[in-house]
Amino acid sequence: MQIRRYKHFASVVGLVLGLLCAVEAAKVNKHKPWIETTYHGIVTENDDKVLLDPPLIALDKDAPLRYAGEICGFRIHGQNVPFEAVVLDKSTGEGVIRAKDKLDCELQKEHTFTIQAYDCGEGPDGANMKKSHKATVHIQVNDINEYSPVFKEKSYKATVIEGKKYDSILKVEAVDADCSFQFSQICSYEIVTPDVPFTVDKDGFIKNTEKLNYSKERMYKLTVTAYDCGKNRASEDVLVKINIKPTCKPGWQGIKGPTLSVTLKRHQELFVCGTLKGKSFYSIPLERD
């Protein structure tokens, strides 16, 4: 009877001790979480979603133990990092990185910082939390085509001589403030004014498509626009004035002065025309008397 009672007592004690040990063992946080060493992310400016490769998952060998095997947080290290990391699932260790503020690719194209995962420690109070090593995160900010091309000059002008075909009369140029090549590069220029004997190429060079005739047209006014490679049109088109100079006709020559040869009247306008140091000196429309 005595022995049986003793045996019963011993088994109860054993059970209690066993339970205590199990509880104690459950409280022990043996392993620190593990994450990859490097992550690469892509985020579009004005958006907060970061596409991360590989995905952010912290593993803990204490899993599936509660607390010690769970992931309670991610911490980001670095100065003025505009990102935060959040745990999505404590037991799987899944997390996401997202932008805290609006990102501006024109201001900063890339962000680099470090990240660390924390387990939940030994119990609800988070005592003896363990942290992983620090992983490096590189995030690239993708561009949005927010800006339109802007011409460098308010207007352009050039003077050409009638009867001549030019390879280039003048060059117009627009710039664009976006951060990517695609959205900041000017892909094409276009002459908006219809039926003019001029073309503009993709680099902004304007040339005449036929010989120009002063008696037909003395000045052309062209409106030119530009498109970036994301198809944004210039916020303001630009005016291009092309003056046509008449050539000296043999019949005009008459009176010869010491430097300039002639002043003649044609179409109610006055011109100076002739040769200077052996070179042809073309006429300039003068103010009328």
> Which residues of this chain interact with Ca ion, rule CB under 5 A?
29, 31, 60, 62, 68, 119, 130, 143-147, 176, 178, 183, 228, 232
Minimum CB separation of residue 285 from Ca ion in Å reads 41
C-beta of 62 vs 162, nearer to Ca ion? 62
C-beta of 108 vs 280, nearer to Ca ion? 108
C-beta of 132 vs 283, nearer to Ca ion? 132
C-alpha–C-alpha distance, residues 140 and 47, integer Å? 12
**Residue 26: both structure tokens together:** 């459950």
Minimum CB separation of residue 104 from Ca ion in Å reads 8
Residue among 119, 117, 163 nearest 137 (CA): 117
* 248-268: b (≥16 Cβ within 10 Å) or e: beeebeeeeeeeebbbbebee
C-beta of 69 vs 274, nearer to Ca ion? 69
**Residue 82: both structure tokens together:** 């505009």
Minimum CB separation of residue 110 from Ca ion in Å reads 15
Read off φ and ψ for residue 26, nearest 5 degrees.
Answer: -65, -30
DSSP state of 137: E
Minimum CB separation of residue 93 from Ca ion in Å reads 10
Minimum CB separation of residue 32 from Ca ion in Å reads 6
C-beta of 76 vs 229, nearer to Ca ion? 229
3-state SS, one letter per residue, for 22-86: HHHHHHCCCCCCECCCEEEEEEECCCCECEEECCCECECCCCCCCCCCCEEEEEEECCCCCEEEE
Strands 174-175 and 205-208, how do they pair?
unpaired
C-beta of 45 vs 162, nearer to Ca ion? 45
Minimum CB separation of residue 181 from Ca ion in Å reads 11
Q: Is 107 helix (H, G, I), strand (E, B) or coil?
A: coil
Q: Is 250 helix (H, G, I), strand (E, B) or coil?
A: helix
Minimum CB separation of residue 143 from Ca ion in Å reads 5
C-alpha–C-alpha distance, residues 32 and 88, integer Å? 19
C-beta of 31 vs 98, nearer to Ca ion? 31
